């Protein structure tokens, strides 16, 4: 099968409550892979399709989710609608610019996204690029997780490239070992890995980004970008590793979604033909734009301006 010129991300889009002031909350929609497809949609040419693959409820909030995606030219492919289900919810609280989250997601519709293999395959097969994360894996029961990985593997055999962010969240997993096993299975079919170093250190005991790169290289991943918050991004591929500095932000507002936006910026740049080092520079700028705004989603125009800014020579 020849991949179409389009991308898709798989996971959970939640209701986001943010920007609390005197108990006034702003409602939006977000989630790690949704934040990523948001950035990809902003940065890719309009002719390239961008779909979010999940499962929806049949409640008014799910209706609003689908309408919001449609308004921003993000499709939903063959994502099922689950009678009686509803989206998960999380609230962001801030201490300075650092954030913490409170979740209500145990019965979210997205947990059923891989219950029907045929629908999932219809959504994923034939894509040029497919994105998923450790959170995508964590919200699924073991049989559904196996279905997702099998469909992704089939899509890869058909020509799709697979991007994966391990994005470990301890509370979503029954144990660290279950997470390690599932992530190892995902890495076996990954072309581009986008881990965050503190997560890798906590779950795998890596002592440096170089350890993470070595471990993922042994797993067979050809292109690796190790993020480290406001620090360096370590880009590795074809036997070469480069450290790309982040863009300084003197007064960050909210770091929610910055790593996800980095992923989207990096993948958009690679889709446009930029080298990994150039892609990481563009991704840093996109992430810097996100941390200067409240919430995970930043208007497309802001992301595009950041993405197209001047590059400095990569060392």
107: pLDDT confidence band, cut at 50, 70 and 90? Answer: confident
Q: How far apart are CA 138 and CA 155, in angstroms?
A: 21
Of 199, 228, 254, 260, catalytic:
260
CB 62 within 8 A of CB 15: no
Residue 97 lies in a domain: no
pLDDT at 314 exceeding the cut of 80? no
CB 230 within 8 A of CB 292: no
The mean per-residue pLDDT over the stretch 136-161 comes to 97
The mean per-residue pLDDT over the stretch 164-174 comes to 96
Q: How many domains does the chain have?
A: 1
The mean per-residue pLDDT over the stretch 114-131 comes to 97
Residue 81 lies in a domain: no
Q: Which domain holds residue 225?
A: 6-12+31-55+114-307
CB 15 within 8 A of CB 34: no
Predicted TM-score (pTM) of the model is 0.94
| Residue 115 appears among annotated catalytic residues | no
Residue 68 lies in a domain: no
pLDDT at 20 exceeding the cut of 70? no
Residue 271 lies in a domain: yes
Say what the pLDDT of residue 16 is.
87
75: pLDDT confidence band, cut at 50, 70 and 90? Answer: very high
Strand-strand pairing, 98-104 and 89-95: antiparallel
CATH of the domain at 48: 3.40.1190.20
Residue 208 lies in a domain: yes
Say what the pLDDT of residue 72 is.
98
DSSP-derived 3-state class of residue 94: strand
């Amino acid at each position: 099968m020849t991949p179409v010129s389009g991308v898709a991300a798989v996971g959970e889009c939640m209701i986001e409550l943010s920007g609390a002031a005197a108990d006034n909350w702003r409602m939006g929609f977000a989630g790690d892979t949704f934040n990523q497809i948001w950035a990809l949609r902003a940065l890719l040419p309009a002719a390239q399709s961008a779909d979010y693959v999940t499962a929806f409820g049949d409640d008014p909030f799910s209706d609003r989710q689908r309408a919001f995606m449609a308004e921003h030219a993000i499709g939903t492919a063959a994502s099922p609608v689950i009678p009686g289900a509803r989206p998960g919810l999380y609230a962001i609280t801030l201490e300075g610019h650092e954030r913490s989250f409170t979740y209500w997601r145990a019965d979210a519709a997205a947990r059923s996204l891989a219950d029907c293999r045929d629908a999932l395959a219809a959504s994923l097969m034939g894509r040029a690029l497919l994105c998923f994360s450790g959170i995508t894996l964590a919200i699924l029961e073991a049989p559904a997780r196996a279905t997702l990985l099998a469909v992704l593997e089939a899509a890869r055999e058909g020509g799709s490239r697979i991007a994966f962010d391990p994005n470990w969240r301890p509370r979503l997993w029954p144990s660290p070992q279950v997470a390690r096993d599932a992530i190892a299975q995902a890495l076996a079919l990954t072309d581009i890995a986008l881990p965050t170093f503190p997560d890798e250190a906590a779950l795998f005991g890596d002592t440096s980004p170089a350890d993470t790169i070595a471990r993922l290289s042994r797993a067979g991943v050809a292109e690796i970008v190790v993020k480290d918050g406001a620090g360096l991004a370590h880009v590795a591929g074809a036997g070469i590793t480069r450290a790309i500095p982040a863009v300084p932000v003197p007064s960050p507002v909210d770091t929610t979604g910055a790593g996800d936006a980095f992923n989207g910026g990096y993948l958009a740049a690679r889709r446009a033909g930029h080298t990994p080092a150039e892609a990481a520079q563009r991704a840093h700028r996109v992430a810097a734009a996100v941390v200067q705004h409240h919430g995970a989603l930043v208007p497309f125009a802001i992301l595009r301006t950041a993405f197209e800014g001047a590059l400095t020579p990569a060392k």
